Structures are given as C-alpha cells and as structure tokens.
Amino acid sequence: MGMAKKVVIVGGVAAGASAAARLRRMDEDAQIIMVERGEYISFANCGLPYYVGGVIKKRERLLIQTPRSMFKRFNIEVRNNSEVEQINPQEKEIVIKNTLEGDSYRESYDYLVLCPGAAPIIPNIPGINQPNVFSVRNVPDSDRIKQYIEMNEPKTAVIIGGGFVGLEMAEMLYECNLDVCIVEAADQLMGPLDPEMAAIVHSYLRSQDIELCLGDQAISMEGSDLVESVILASGRKVPADIVILGIGVKPEVGLATNAGLAIGSTGGILVDEYLRTSDPFIYAAGDAIQIKDFVTGQDSLLPLASPANRQGWLIANNLCHRPIKYTGAQGTAIVKIMDQTVAVTGKNEKTLRKLGIPYQACHAQPNSHATYYPGSSVMTAKLLFDTQDGKVLGAQIVGRDGVDKRIDVIATAIRAGMTVFDLQELELAYAPPFSSAKDPVNMLAYAASNIVNRDIEVIQWPDVPKRVMEGAFLIDARTAKEFERGTVDGAHNIPVDEVRARIDEIPKDKEVLVYCGQGLRSYIVNRILRPKGYDVKNISGGYGLYQYQI
C-alpha cells in the first residue's frame, strides 16, 4: 500500500466543500485539509438574499456544514479564518495566514485544489466605500445589510446591476417596504435574456413600482457620512438610503497568477478537460475557472452553483483514479421575481447572431396548465434551434407557474443533443392541474418543427417595421374586438375565420406578414395562404409579445 495522499483544498464553499466530501467518500485514508479565508464554510450563498429579506428566518439555516460537522462526518480538517497567501508549486507547498492572529505558516500538499470563487466587481466611483454601500457574497455581507436595515430603517434603495443577484436583492428590499430603483448600464435587465423577453420583465417590474434606469450608469454617490443619492451618467440623481452592488463577479485568480499558473482568455484559471491547471498537481473548480460552453464549445466564465458543485465532485474522482472529463456548462439559470419566474438555458439569440451560428427562433405563449382547470397562467417561451437540423440551442421562459419544469426539460434536451423533433415526441406528465395534453415544451417544439420543415416562415417583431415601410401587407388575424382594444399601426384586421372569404383583400404581389394573439391563429392563416402562392410570414410571438415592446 502506498502512502495516503494529502490534498489541500483552497475555499470551503460550493466547489471546495463538494470536492472535499466526495474525496473522503472515495478515499477513506486521504489526508484532507480545507482552507477557508472566512469564518464560515459550506454556506448557502444562493440563500443570502432571502436571509436579508427575512424569507429565510434563521441564520443558521444558511450554514449547511460547520468545521465541526465536516470533521465529524468526513474527517476533514477545516482551517477557517485562514487565507492561502501563496503557492510554491516547485516545493508543493502553500503559505497560509491565520486571519485572526495574523501569523503565517507553510503547509505541504500532494495535490492542491483551488476553489477560491469569484469576487464582486466594485466600480471605482466616488462614494463607493461609504458604509451603506454593500455587495453580497457571504454571510457577513448579509449580516451587515440586515443589521443596517434594522438599525437605520432605510426608505429608498438603489440596486446597481440588473442581473440575477441584483434582481433577487431588489425583490427582497421591496418586500422590506423600500422604494427600489435598479440601475443597469445595458439597455435591458438580465443579460442572458434576449431583449424582447427582458421587456416582459421590465413591464412586470414597473407594474410593481420598481423603478428601472436602463442604459444608464452610476458615476458617483453623494452624501456626507452615508450615501444619500446615486448620480447617474444621464445626470439623474436617485435617492438612496442603501445601495446594493450586483454588477457581477470576477474570478479570484490572484493566487493562481502569482504561482505562475496559466490563466485563460476570459480571465478564469485555465484548466484541461480533467480540471487540471497548467501544474499537474493543482486542480481548480468553480467560479474561478474558465470552462467550455457546452453548446458552442467557446471559452467562457459561468459563475453558477450547479457547475461549481459538479466540478468539485469531478476533481475528487479524478484524484482517485476514476477520471471523468468535464463536458462544459450551458448556463441553465432561474430567478424568482415576486410572482414571476425567469429561466434560461443554452444560448440566446444575441450570442448566436454574434457567433454567426445559423439559428431560428420561435415564441409561444402557452398556459401553465389546462385553462379549464382553475389557476392557470400564461408563460412566454422562446426556443432557439439550428435552422438545418432543428437541434435545440437555447430557451428562455418568463411566467408565473411551471417555468422551472419546462426550462429543465429543455436543458436536459440540450444536454442530450436533441432536436425540436425529439422535443415533440417527449411524453410529459399531464393532468389538468399540471399541464396540457400538449405540454408547453411540445407546443414550442411543434412551432419550431414547422419552421425547420419550411411549412411556415417566421419573422421577428424588430424586423417588421422596416418590412412594412418597404410595402409589406400586415394582417392582424385576431377578432375585431381584440383589434379594437389595441393593435399595431398599419395592420389590416382580417380575422382568421374570414380569411378565405376575404382573400381578395390580400395582395399577392406583396410580402404578407401575419400576427394574432400568440401565433396560433396566424399560423393557420399562413397555412391557408402559402399553398396559394402568397409570400406570407408569421410574426413570432404575436401581439402577446408585441405589447411588451412598446
């Protein structure tokens, strides 16, 4: 029998704790040391906003494991309040500083596993260091925010950054009865969404009296001892008794860089398919590493908990002679915003266009379950797929109920390399309280397959005005009543059931663009006109999608 190996893990939260626990289960004899800069290990960072907002009431619920429980169950030696300051790869040694006492010492390793995560981006603007400006990374951060709210009873909050964490914090502060304003430099919240899907989120948030400053940037913060207002690039001054930063994170690569480890083009630690760094005895996982995008194969950063856990687990296997390749991540993510759910997986249209990958997009607005059973709600779903073979490339869904389940089905399909024709065939659980006999995923798949099969051509709303200017004939195929309640400028109302009788009104020498409420009735119109030789196209998403864009 050889000597037991000594593995030191840097970082004790998602990837680190996952690696440590799996390693112990794979190797009862290994010496495992987990070094964590903070006081806490294995805490639920994803739960932090909900602790701030009081949804999670007990602080200890955030602490999934403690150094003591980690030792008792896994015989893992946890050194918290300990920062790894330096790696000496030649000596296979690290320098650890005790952050309470200030003293440093050396520790040797056979293998080192780097799981240092990513640090919040703090913009360098005046006022940023005031005590009522917070970022949210760990338990002490959320303690500070909670305490500040309790002691100072702020009335107004500015959230800088409209990503997932920013939105969760916005909801929580709103629930604490603060007036909330979200400032986002891009033209839309939630970067992973395409603009027309983000527009639904904007409309919803505004309806809840959350203020949005889009396409604007915080350039300074005013106030004497505390920030009192945030000044935006546009000149706007937004009152702020508390400011939360949610601009994003950057991989913590200082240690790796100083040790001479290779860093990838995206700024994350470079690893091979076994998650080994450029040093054969050092592995790395989690928010700190550069990964391959599962759909496109591109290098990317993806600071999400599920990939971090997977990677940590995988490294443990690789250290125990059960090599498994990491196949990349596809960016499946979900966020709750009050009673709405927003979820994404795979690539969005913006990225596909930028990369020049041939794709088509379709939208559907199915109900979460059969409408005749009480309580159903409409979701807006977008599917992206390969134009040629129909391979599923990505999806985005916004709605109230059942969004999580549909995105997960599509995420699974992407992982399996399935096409829209495969999605049609999925037999998904159905009874009226849960779904419809054609599940929303099937509905999307049928719509998408019609496009791949060239039974229908689609056009997206942003392309419509130009076409109409060039002479396209726009048909609103909804009923006269719906038409009266609101329509698109220049549209001709020819309800689906009247199309055959009124076909002479539709010019044959012009491009014809048709929409209805959600795309189903206009699809029928397309199927009537197309065999007759009309140059007809369906406007994806119909008026249901259009109304959010204005």
CB 252 within 8 A of CB 116: yes
Residue with tokens 């550069």: 290
Q: Least Å distance between CB 114 and ligand FAD?
A: 8
Best CA proximity match to 267, nearest among 245, 248, 244, 282: 248
Q: Least Å distance between CB 260 and ligand FAD?
A: 16
Q: 14-26 vs 67-74: helix axis angle to the nearest 10?
A: 20
Nearer to ligand FAD, 10 or 403 (CB): 10
Q: Which two tokens stand for residue 507?
A: 């010019």
Q: Count residues contacting ligand FAD (CB under 6 A)? A: 32
Catalytic: 46?
yes
Regarding 37 and contact with ligand FAD (CB under 6 A), the answer is yes
Return d(Cα 371, Cα 378) in angstroms, integer.
9
Nearer to ligand FAD, 136 or 245 (CB): 136
Q: Least Å distance between CB 36 and ligand FAD?
A: 5
CB 334 within 8 A of CB 396: no
Angstrom CA distances, 498 to 58, 259, 479, 501, stand at 61, 73, 10, 5
Give the range of 109-117, 183-191, 454-462, 524-532 binding ligand FAD by CB under 6 A: 109-117
The one-letter amino acid code at 385 reads: F
Q: Least Å distance between CB 275 and ligand FAD?
A: 12
- The interface with ligand FAD within residues 8-27 (CB under 6 A) comprises 10-11, 13-16
Nearer to ligand FAD, 97 or 537 (CB): 97
The mark string for 140-179 relative to ligand FAD (x by CB under 6 A, - otherwise) is -------------------------x--------------
Nearer to ligand FAD, 40 or 461 (CB): 40
3-state DSSP assignment of residue 303 = coil
Give the range of 297-305, 414-422, 477-485, 519-527 binding ligand FAD by CB under 6 A: 297-305
Q: Which two tokens stand for residue 491?
A: 């549209």
* All residues at 6 or more sequence positions from 332 whose CB lies less than 8 Å from its CB, including other chains: 304, 306, 343, 344, 345, 346, 407, 408, 411
Ordered DSSP codes for 54-84: TSS--GGGGBS--HHHHHHHH--EEE-SEEE
Give the range of 38-46, 234-242, 293-301, 472-480 binding ligand FAD by CB under 6 A: 38-46
The mark string for 193-222 relative to ligand FAD (x by CB under 6 A, - otherwise) is ------------------------------
Q: Least Å distance between CB 404 and ligand FAD?
A: 12
Nearer to ligand FAD, 167 or 539 (CB): 167
3-state DSSP assignment of residue 527 = helix
Nearer to ligand FAD, 165 or 190 (CB): 165
Residues 36, 293, 439, 476: which binds ligand FAD (CB under 6 A)?
36
Q: Which residue is nearest to ligand FAD (CB)?
A: 286
Return d(Cα 315, Cα 307) in angstroms, integer.
12
Backbone angles phi, psi at 269, to 5 degrees: -65, 130
Nearer to ligand FAD, 308 or 393 (CB): 308
Q: Least Å distance between CB 537 and ligand FAD?
A: 38
Ordered DSSP codes for 92-128: TEEEEEETTT--EEEEE-SEEEE---EEEP----TTT
CB atoms near residue 206 (< 10 Å) = 11
- The interface with ligand FAD within residues 497-526 (CB under 6 A) comprises none
- The interface with ligand FAD within residues 301-360 (CB under 6 A) comprises 303-306, 308
Give the residues lining the site for ligand FAD (CB under 6 A). Answer: 10-11, 13-16, 35-38, 45-46, 48-49, 83-84, 115-117, 136-137, 165, 252, 255, 286-288, 303-306, 308
Catalytic residues: 46
